[in-house]
Amino acid sequence: MLIIRKDELPFDYNVKERLDYILNQARRDARFINGNVISIDRTNLHYVEPHKLFIGKHLFLFFNYSMDIYYQTLTNKIEIKELNIYDKDLVPVSNDS
């Protein structure tokens, strides 16, 4: 029987503090979601799911101990220090229904 385990991966608080600081300077609200370590029992297969940062409708992905952040997919890499410049171009999501 195939057993898949999903264990929550805690944030590296140095990376999270940097992101919080950038978001506070840009006066943007955001939502953080912890990543996971997904593994298959009795194998050596593991996948590290990145942490997620939602700024409005925009999704950013990041990993612990990395100074890079990814926009939408893992192919669009941005350095964390450039996020404040990138963040100015984001359009807030309106709550119109």
What average pLDDT does the segment 26-41 reach?
Answer: 90
Residue 17 phi/psi, 5-degree rounding, is: -65, -40
Residue 85 banded pLDDT, cuts 50, 70, 90: low
Assigned domain for 67 exists:
yes
Candidates 5, 11, 8; CA nearest to 62 is 11
In 3-state terms, what secondary structure has residue 38? strand
Residue 18 structural domain: 4-87
Here the tokens at position 46 are: 């593991």
Mean pLDDT (the chain, rounded) = 83
Check residue 62 and give its pLDDT.
Answer: 92
Q: Using only C-alpha atoms, what is the Rg of the chain?
A: 15
Assigned domain for 59 exists:
yes
Assigned domain for 93 exists:
no
What average pLDDT does the segment 48-62 reach?
Answer: 91
Assigned domain for 94 exists:
no
* DSSP state string for 12-25: -HHHHHHHHHHHHH
Number of domains within the chain: 1
Under a CB-based contact definition with an 8 Å cutoff, are residues 67 and 79 in contact? yes
Most distant CA atoms of the chain, gap in Å = 50
